[in-house]
Structure 1
Amino acid sequence: MSGTRRVTLLIQGKVQGVFFRESARIEATRLGLAGWVRNRSDGAVEAVVEGEPGMLEEFIRWSHRGPSQARVDSVGRTDSEATGEYSHFIVERTS
Structure 2
Amino acid sequence: MIRAHIIVEGRVQGVGYRANTSRYANQHDLKGWVRNLRDGKVEILVEGDPEMIDKLIQWCHRGPTSAHVSRVLVDKTDAIGEFKGFMVKSTL
RMSD, aligned α-carbons: 0.4
Q: Which runs of 5+ in 1 are unaligned?
A: none
Report percent identity of matched pairs.
Answer: 41
The residue number in structure 2 matching 1:69 is 66
Q: Which runs of 5+ in 2 are unaligned?
A: none
Count of residue pairs brought into register by the alignment: 92
In structure 1, distance between residues paired with 2:76 and 2:55: 15
Determine if the alignment matches structure 1 residue 30 to structure 2 residue 55: no
- The equivalent residue for 1:46 is 43
Residue 81 (structure 1) shift: 1.1
Letter in 2 for 1:23: N
The code of the aligned residue for 1:43 comes to: G
CA–CA distance in structure 2, aligned partners of residues 63 and 91 of structure 1:
15
Moved over 2 A (4+): none
Query: When the two structures are superposed, what TM-score results if normalisation uses the length of structure 1?
Result: 0.96
For 1:49 and 1:14, the matched residues in 2 are separated by 21
TM-score, normalization by structure 2: 0.99
Match of 1:57?
Answer: 54
How far apart, CA to CA, are the structure 1 residues paired with 2:85 and 2:57?
A: 17
Could you tell me which residue of structure 1 aligns to residue 83 of structure 2?
86
